[in-house]
Each structure stands twice: as C-alpha cells, then as structure tokens.
Structure 1
Amino acid sequence: MANPLSADALVSALRAEGVTVVEHSGWRTHNRNHKGSWGPVNGVIIHHTVTSGTSNSVSLCFNGHSALPGPLCHGVIAKDGTVHLVGNGRANHAGSGDGDVLKAVVAEKALPAPNENDTDGNVHFYGFECVNLGDGKDPWPAVQLEAMVRASAALCRAHGWSAGSVIGHKEWTDKKIDPRGFAMSDFRIRVASRLGTGPSGSTGSGNSGNSGTAKPSYQPFPGDAWFRKNPRSAIVTAMGKRLVAVGCSEYASGPGPQWTDADRRSYARWQRKLGYTGTAADGWPGAKSWAALKVPYSS
C-alpha cells in the first residue's frame, strides 16, 4: 500500500530503469480523479490494446471513447518498446475485479482465480496498455516485452514491491482475457529477475554494471505461484543446496531440479528457523524468507 508517484517521480523511475519515455501533451493533469479515489496504490496491471499502430493506440488510450472516457491507462507501451505516458491519476483501465485478488497482491501471495467483481481496481492499480491485437497471433517483439518488464519493475522498485504486485487484467477479473500471447507467471519471473539488479542494469549493491545484462548475486524470488506449479529448474536445485547448508534438509537424496514434497518440508524447516509458525511455515516460499535464504543466482 502506497501513495501514487508524482508525475516527475514516475518519469524518473521509468528512465532510471532504462525505459524510453515519451510524454503526451497534457498527460500530467489528465485523469478521472473527479470520479473516485486514486490510491492507495498496490500494484500494476498489464493489458493489451486490441489495436495496431502506435499513434492510433496512444490517441485512443489518451482520449478514450463515448462509452469509456480517457485516460484508459497510465502508459502505452509500443511495439518498439517506447512508453508513451497518457495519464497521471485515476484511469479507466482496471474496472471492477475480485477483492480477494487485491488482498493477494497486497500480501504478495499466490493469486486466486477471480470469480467476482466487487472491487474498484482503478483506485489501486497503475495500468500499462501494450500495443497488440490480442488475437494470440500478433507477435510480442522482444524489445516490447523488455520495456514492459522494465516499466513494471520501475514501479515495483519505486514502491518497494516484489514482482507479485504485477498482474494481468485477466488475473484481476474473469471478464477479460488480456494480456494474451504470453504467461503472466513467466512475465513475473522476468520482473523478479530485473528487480535483482539496480536501475539500468547495475547490481543491487549500487555498483554500476557494464550493461543491462548484469546478473545479481542472489536469485530473485520467482513468486509464490511459480512453486505451486511444481517447477523443474536449476533454481530449485540451488535453493535445496542452500537449505542443506543452513541445516534444514529433509532430503533422502538430492536436492535436484524437480520441486518435490521434500523441498517443501525442507523449506518449512527454514521458515520455522526464521521464527515463522502456522500457515506462515507451510513450506511454500515467500519473498522475505527467500531473500533471507540467499539462493545463488542460477538463471
């Protein structure tokens, strides 16, 4: 929970993350604040525009239409990776969604499937509309996806949020399908990895990196949902080795790359070692306990 960034702070955060920013004329005072609250803010929602072309998409998101006045988001992310800022304040992008999803975002826990629309998301979320037809065929250029990751990470970094604060519109309400064409779970892993570095690719220690590919010392938290999908990854092996090193092993053999119940039991021991009890020590990794474990960076 946080106060929204000022216009200057938003621009600074995006540019510090290496994002190319274009400020649409009038965006700094363009909002729907007269229709309801803006803030406290809790996260970021990613959308696709169902349009093509930068100019048309930016114009639509700034002006809106007769049934839904603009701004329709805070920033439009073009195919070339440029972020066009079109609104500052409450925007008509999230609409009504599931209050249980908002609670999960605030707690940075695994998202429940949305099944009701009882909460005004325009109060609580920044929104990025990303230029794509949303038909499952229109490609997502690498430069565009990277800008989406960096823009999301910029807001998370500014507010001290983890990647769990970034969701898709389809994760907010069962009335939407966007963004279509990539998995939000994978997107959050990329945001988490980005948050393991400083702005513009420097390491988290504040030392300047030579490029945007600088790697963090420790593995960023992949997110609650990632573990619940029973992943097979070098990250799981690295985690297991750290659990063994800190005296929390429940392994009969291994650890290995496949997430198993032995990993969960071992992690539960680690949580209890940190002082967690009850459901907070259920063996599913959380952002704080993960950071304390200091899992070496692997991918």
Structure 2
Amino acid sequence: MATPPTAAAFLAALRAEGLTVVEVGRWWEHNRNHKGPWGEVHGVLIHHTVTGVNVNAVPICRNGYEGLPGPLCHGVIRRNGEVHLVGYGRTNHAGGGDPDVLQAVIDESYDERPPKPNVGNVDGVDGNAHFYGFECENAGDGKDPWPAAQLEAIEKAAAALCRLHQWGPKSVIGHLEWSDDKNDPRGFTMPSMRDRVADRLAVKEQKPPAPKPSQPAPPKPSVDLSKLVAAAKSDPARRGTPISYYGVKVVEQALVREGLLAPSLADGHFGTATVAAYAAWQRRCGYKGADADGIPGADSLKKLGARRGFTITP
C-alpha cells in the first residue's frame, strides 16, 4: 500500500532499473482522474494487448477506442523491450476485480498464486484506482511468442515499482488473476514472472560494495539448524532468547527475498506466518505433504542458504 509517487519519480525508477523508456506526449498529465482518485496503490497489473506482430499498440493504449477512452495503461511494453509511457494517474486498464485478491496482494499473503477471482469487470472492486498497469504487445492467443527482451522489460518494470514502494514480488499479478472474465497475459505464467522479479530484487538488494584488496571477505551469517527447529516449534522456554541465537531473522529475510514472506512479518519470531512461508519454500524445493510442514530441514535450509548467502551448522 502506498501513495503514488510523482511522475518524475516514477520515470526515474523505471530508468534506474535499466529500462529504455520512451515518453509519449505529455504522458504525465494524461489520465482519467475526473472519474475518481488514483491511489492508494497496492500493486502492478500485467496485460497483453491482443495486437498482431506488425501493430503498434502505443497509439491505441494512449487514445483508447470507442466505448473505452484512453489512456488504457501507464506504459506499453513493446516487443523490443522499450517501455512507452502514455499516461499517469487513473487509467482504464484494470476494471473491476475480486476484493479477496486485492487483500491478498496488499498482505502479500498468498503462496504461488492469489486466490482465484470470483468476480469480474462489471461487479468487482475498482482496480483502476489501485494498480499500475502495463500493456504488453502480444496477440494474446497463447501461440504468439514473447521475445526475451520483452519479458526482461516486464520483469524490470515490475521490479522497479516494487523497489520504489518496498513491495515484494507478490504485489505483481496478471489481469487474469484479478478478474474472472480476463485471460491475460497468455504465453507465460505469472508465478514464473514473480520468480524473475524476486531474483531481480534479491540480486540488486544483496549486491555489496567491493571489499578492499587487503581485507578478507566478511563471513557469511551462520544459522544453527537445531536451534532454528526449536524456534519453529515455538518452545516456550526459548521465547526470551535473542533472535540472533536462532538465526530466525536471517532465515526470515531470505524468505522475504524469495517473495514468500511479507517484509512486515520478518519480526524475528518463527511464528505462524514464518512457518507458512517456510512451508512454501519446502514445496518450491519439491517436498510434499508432511515433508512440507514449515519446520526447517537440513536440505531445504542448505538450498535457501546457498541462494541467499548464509551457512548452517548441525
């Protein structure tokens, strides 16, 4: 949840992520704000344009069409990876959607996918007020390929706004995850895109300054497996022990960077939310049933440490 930034800050965030941004007209004052306020913003919504290979979707998304005036999004992500900004403020891109999905995005509380939407454009909550929207050039038939440059641009645009607002990747959803009468985007999955966004956020977040040649690299944090398990099982006798003793905070921050735990829930206690997030990590590692109970095991913890820069001890 966040107040929308200035148009200049929005533009700067996209460019800082390495995107090629094209400004179309006076995009920063082109909106539908007379229909209602824009914000608080809660996430990023990804669409496909349903346009062919040789169609430039930018004018359509800027101007709209009969029955649906433009702008139809904030940015158009072209097949070559360029992002063309066509509006800023309320735009006609999201329409109505499921309030349960909105809450799940705000909380970043879901596992691989948000809850399946049960309402659509006509009877849903107003998404135009609460989401950034990117229309991505594609025929939308599930056969039209997505160029690598375009997928990377979608990843970068979503990550830029997550970084700007300190959101996790679960703040990024597809239109089909918002409304039960939509099917976009087709041709790639939103869980796979959220994984890409998570990796991008983690890499840039973790990038340390280069150590001086005369200095050894700092040691990796170490997590004691047995004590972490005790914390996960909520042993009452250990509640007063400092969180660094168990390494709970180290593991929680790793789960945040994986997009499995909301930053606000990384509080140093291996409670219900952290157990649920760790269970999701275990499922991502291929465990099922009782083997994905949220209680850390050596193999899953080693994999998490290898990705997120910590070691474990027995």
Q: TM > 0.5 between the two?
A: yes
Distance 2:266 2:10 in 1: 39
In the superposition, relative to structure 1, how do residues 132 and 273 fare at CA in structure 2: closer, same or farther (>3 Å)?
closer
Gaps of 5+ in 1: 209-216, 219-240, 251-270
1:99 matched to 2:99: yes
Distance 1:106 1:286 in 2: 21
1:190 matched to 2:196: yes
Contact 2:53 2:139 in 1 (8 A): no
Matched with 1:16 is: 16
Distance 1:280 1:132 in 2: 38
Matched with 2:158 is: 152
1:275 matched to 2:269: yes
Contact 1:54 1:79 in 2 (8 A): no
Distance 1:94 1:47 in 2: 9
Instruction: Classify the secondary structure of the residue corresponding to 1:14.
Output: helix
In the superposition, relative to structure 1, how do residues 246 and 76 fare at CA in structure 2: closer, same or farther (>3 Å)?
farther
Gaps of 5+ in 2: 211-218, 233-264, 281-293, 295-300, 309-314
Question: How many angstroms does 1:206 deviate by?
Answer: 5.5
Between the two proteins, the alignment pairs up a number of residues equal to 241
Distance 1:297 1:17 in 2: 25
1:247 matched to 2:228: yes
Work out which of the two has the higher radius of gyration on C-alpha atoms and give 1 or 2. Answer: 2
Distance 2:41 2:268 in 1: 30
In the superposition, relative to structure 1, how do residues 297 and 90 fare at CA in structure 2: closer, same or farther (>3 Å)?
farther
Task: Note the alpha carbon deviations across 1:82-114, whole angstroms, 9 max, x for none.
Answer: 000001000000000000000000000111100
Q: Which amino acid aligns with 1:39?
A: G
Matched with 1:204 is: 206
1:129 matched to 2:129: no
In the superposition, relative to structure 1, how do residues 206 and 12 fare at CA in structure 2: closer, same or farther (>3 Å)?
farther
1:175 aligned to 174, 178, 181, which one?
181
Question: How many angstroms does 1:6 deviate by?
Answer: 1.3
Q: Which amino acid aligns with 1:248?
A: V
Matched with 1:52 is: 52
Q: Report % sequence identity.
A: 54
1:296 matched to 2:313: no
Runs of 4+ in 1 over 4 A off after TM superposition: none
Question: How many angstroms does 1:296 deviate by?
Answer: 2.8
Aligned residues: CA RMSD: 3.1
Q: Which amino acid aligns with 1:115?
A: N
2:145 aligned to 118, 139, 142, which one?
139
Task: Note the alpha carbon deviations across 1:160-208, whole angstroms, 9 max, x for none.
Answer: 000000000000001100000011101100000000132xxxx534638
